[in-house]
Amino acid sequence: MEIIKRIIKHNLALTGLIILIPMFICAIAAHIISPHDPVEPDMKNILAPPTAEHPFGTDTLGRDVLARIIYGSRISLLVGFVSIGIAVLIGIIIGAVSGYYGGIVDEVIMRFVDLMMCFPTFFLILAVIALLEPNIWNIMIVIGLTNWMGIARLVRAEVLSIKNKEFVLAAKAQGYPERKIIFRHILPNALTPVYVVATLGIGGAILTESALSFLGIGVQPPTPSWGNILTQAKDNIEVAWWLSLYPGLAIFLTVMGYNLLGEGLRDIFDPRRRY
């Protein structure tokens, strides 16, 4: 409850939350909110402009753009949370092991992390996706497997600052196993910065998925995705402005919402920035 109170009092975090709440509602209740079937074509209304029946217009197959954007929010929510969840899990484990054991273990792990960070992430994702079947599960796994390095470095730094504190030394003196010391005593005190990075990372994952879908190697039609709606928009930009405006606005607002919430959480969790 304390964190909720701080979010409400913080303008950036509250603004981000206000932006994201409708997105969550759309994702959870898409089957209730959506005015039309997102995959049902209507050949009588191909590229119809916004009307009362189709507030966001229709696409090249006559499908309702509003319905597709609403259902596309499910894809964005799923990709954001699952892919960053994978990245956080890998980053926490590797960072904790590296920071706790130090020495040669730390040196080998950190050099591997440095090597991974040398590759341009998006092009690495493109290369891997090109070799795999382009579906949502492969996209989530690949995004997660290419975004854990920063989290690992962050967790390592936190563990290094905590592992020699009195409560950890006391746990070692009592003969607790190292696994218990790492996961029960050190990690709970090292995860606060991870919450901030994970929140910011969700927005980045959504942007990556949209870019992949736009390029045709992400979520495949007829499954609605903000990115593959934009794919149709580029071929009809002069006659169907709504195909680029509304999904682009959805991506922009969602990513901005996560970034504002993440920046707000950074201020809330950092005692030097508390107001």
Whether 45 is covered by a domain: the verdict is: no
d(CA 265, CA 10): 9
3-state secondary structure of 24: helix
Closest CA to 88 of 164, 148, 15, 37: 148
Whether 43 is covered by a domain: the verdict is: no
Domain that holds residue 201: 2-30+62-269
Amino acid type, 53? E
3-state secondary structure of 64: strand
Mean pLDDT on 45-59: 91
Whether 10 is covered by a domain: the verdict is: yes
Whether 47 is covered by a domain: the verdict is: no
Mean pLDDT on 75-92: 93
Q: Is residue 36 pLDDT above 50, yes or no?
A: yes
Q: Is residue 271 pLDDT above 60, yes or no?
A: no
Whether 135 is covered by a domain: the verdict is: yes
Alpha-carbon distances of 259 from 145, 170, 194, 206, 263, rounded to whole Å:
21, 39, 14, 12, 6
pLDDT-wise least confident of 84-93, 125-134, 183-192? 125-134
CATH code for the domain of 208: 1.10.3720.10
Q: How confident is the model at residue 272 (pLDDT cuts 50, 70, 90)?
A: low
**In this predicted structure, what is the pLDDT of residue 275?**
47
**In this predicted structure, what is the pLDDT of residue 273?**
54
Whether 162 is covered by a domain: the verdict is: yes
Beta-strand (E) ranges in the chain?
none
Amino acid type, 166? E
Task: Between 125 and 242, name the one with better pLDDT.
Answer: 242
Alpha-carbon distances of 79 from 67, 138, 139, 153, rounded to whole Å:
19, 10, 8, 23
Output b/e per residue, 194-232; b: 16+ Cβ within 10 A.
Answer: bbbbbbbbbbbbbbbbbbbbbeebbbeeebbbbbbbbbb
